[in-house]
Structure 1
């Protein structure tokens, strides 16, 4: 399924997106017609469109396009909404002032039976981290480097030696007191992260790489994976079971989600 402003996507318009890669997006996991954090996803699209295109989006219009992708489809799947201007020109991005809405749908894997992640620390800071933009080259290059080294994904570490986030996910830790610690760093403000922060006590503090490796547990989170345990950072193994982690996972999956 692929629609542009509610119509079958035009190949020439998609070609512009492929060649310029200028735009932003959000991905939403749909479980039985409901989306956790739907309102936050819509807020992100409006906020990021203002940042990227200096233009306002109508969240109700976006909702109507998402509804078309959701209606009549059972089970679990992921809907991605990408905002871009088909008239974007590499030489004059200032003229990209009429963003349109591309909605795609893909199958979703189980978020309850994913194996723990083994991650490798990679020196990297995403470009404009507060925006969920389409520029994924640096992120995927870091992920590839981690996989070449035999790991599952990359854990980004800034020049200050503080951990920030993962390839396409936020990261958090559980310290010796059982407190959830989210890194204080320039990161994408993830919707799943925000939902978890609402339902469980936590703190936000700088986390060095050494401190991360000494935590009681660690986990990655985004809309597709929910709460996924991290079993190793570099060569340091971490416990994959913890009472706080179990409680957090249970509370997250108990969230009812919103209807489109």
Structure 2
């Protein structure tokens, strides 16, 4: 199952106004920045506070300045709003917030696309992963310029897989090209600790799984360890999907595990933007 959202943005605004050609040229030539991606439902987002914290922390690291969460929320609301001249308000959407600093001050670009909907059944969502020897630079940031991960994901898709599984020395698993990955040994959920981006859905699920009585931890996971695990799943802003195969190793669909994980995600509160 390959799910993507390649269409051009329905709306694109920079600092609360339609983007100009000059602004877009500047950003096209500037690969230094970061972003976050979210699914909006009914004008609200799961883990909105985590998105705002991510944007603020990365802006401080890259540009030595903070980024006020209310400013980000206002920019998203404006991009989703109707304007009284035929532009309708959007309540459901896929939204990205990009942060550049072309003049030394953080600038926000908000893109709005149609919402992503995963298949209703877990079997329909099941992902096949192709391991590749690649670890993202500065992996803890959701930064721009992801040529390597995009290249490997496209190559994996050409080979009939849904996603690339990024690995480091000795086959140490880190993350998917656009996902976090977790493995289940029948007792606990293990998230690989090799350099990775701690995704919003992953960060939402970690405490929820523990509260539900399903232990979760971060630790080393190597390709050679896969026979020790009975199930796996991936997460990103689209939600939760089971893994059906990594390279030539099949994983059976653990309906009970996936019902628990997906249920916790679906029940997580939505925060009004």
Calculate the TM-score normalised by the size of structure 2: 0.87
CA distance in 1: counterparts of 2:148 and 2:181, whole angstroms = 18
CA distance in 2: counterparts of 1:232 and 1:26, whole angstroms = 28
Q: Secondary structure at the match of 1:42?
A: helix
CA distance in 2: counterparts of 1:150 and 1:73, whole angstroms = 35
Q: Secondary structure at the match of 1:133?
A: coil
Calculate the TM-score normalised by the size of structure 1: 0.91
The answer to whether residue 236 in structure 2 is matched with residue 236 in structure 1 is no
CA distance in 1: counterparts of 2:254 and 2:269, whole angstroms = 25
Could you tell me which of 98, 105, 123 is aligned with 2:105?
98
1:24-77 CA distance string (max 9 Å, x none) = 000111111110000110010000011111222121111111122334213x32
CA distance in 2: counterparts of 1:203 and 1:51, whole angstroms = 27
Could you tell me which of 186, 189, 192 is aligned with 1:180?
189
C-alpha contact 2:35 2:143 (8 A) present in aligned 1: yes
Could you tell me which of 90, 97, 103 is aligned with 1:81?
97
Q: Secondary structure at the match of 1:160?
A: helix
Could you tell me which of 200, 208, 214 is aligned with 1:199?
208
Displacement after TM superposition at 1:256 (Å): 2.3
Could you tell me which of 217, 223, 228 is aligned with 1:209?
223
Could you tell me which of 8, 11, 34 is aligned with 2:21?
11
Number of residue pairs aligned between Structure 1 and Structure 2: 248
Q: Secondary structure at the match of 1:103?
A: strand
C-alpha contact 2:156 2:162 (8 A) present in aligned 1: yes
Q: Secondary structure at the match of 1:200?
A: helix
1:157-185 CA distance string (max 9 Å, x none) = 111321110011111011132x1111111
C-alpha contact 1:156 1:164 (8 A) present in aligned 2: yes
Displacement after TM superposition at 1:242 (Å): 3.5
The answer to whether residue 237 in structure 2 is matched with residue 223 in structure 1 is yes
Runs (5+) with no aligned partner, structure 2: 1-10, 82-88, 211-215
CA distance in 2: counterparts of 1:60 and 1:24, whole angstroms = 18
Q: Secondary structure at the match of 2:74?
A: helix
Partner of 2:86: none
The answer to whether residue 34 in structure 2 is matched with residue 30 in structure 1 is no
Runs (5+) with no aligned partner, structure 1: 88-96
1:182-206 CA distance string (max 9 Å, x none) = 1111110111100000200212111
CA distance in 2: counterparts of 1:227 and 1:195, whole angstroms = 12
CA distance in 1: counterparts of 2:118 and 2:207, whole angstroms = 20
CA distance in 1: counterparts of 2:79 and 2:189, whole angstroms = 35
